[in-house]
Amino acid sequence: MNSRKSNEKIIQILSEMEPLHEETDDERRRREIMTEEAKKKAVDDAPLAFPRKVAGIVCVALWAFSLVALVFGFGDLGVLLPFLLLSLGTVCGLNIPRFIKMGKIWDVVVAVIACVLCAMLAFGILFVGGNR
């Protein structure tokens, strides 16, 4: 399994190996850039990693069920839409700590706005939209 511990072990083994040839400045610069990019991409150990995966799976399953329900006519959009919006808002909200750790401020702003709008619209439909 690809985990942080196994990755560190592989890095340790590779750093102890002797290079086949002398490294040029260009190769060294590229290696440093690749190392920095790998550090930025290694955010899977960010907070809430498991809940993010579970929320994503639930969101996709709920959207697929709703699509099938609406296509075959045994679902009501007034009931399904709030839960679709809540699942989407949850996924957006759980990604905020990841974006903060990556340093993507604008993604944090967009995720907060999407999360709040999805929640407000969902609760609005649940509590106000049901009155006919």
The tens digit of pLDDT for each residue in 78-94 reads 788 888 899 999 999 98
Q: What is the pLDDT at residue 20?
A: 66
* Interval 7-51: pLDDT, tens: 777 777 777 776 666 777 888 888 888 888 777 666 555 677 788
- Measured CA to CA, the distance from residue 55 to residue 115 in angstroms comes to 13
Provide the Cα torsion 88, 115, 127, 75; round to 10°. Answer: -10
- CA-angle at 98, arms to 64 and 34, nearest 5°: 110
Q: What is the token pair recorded at 97?
A: 């700590």
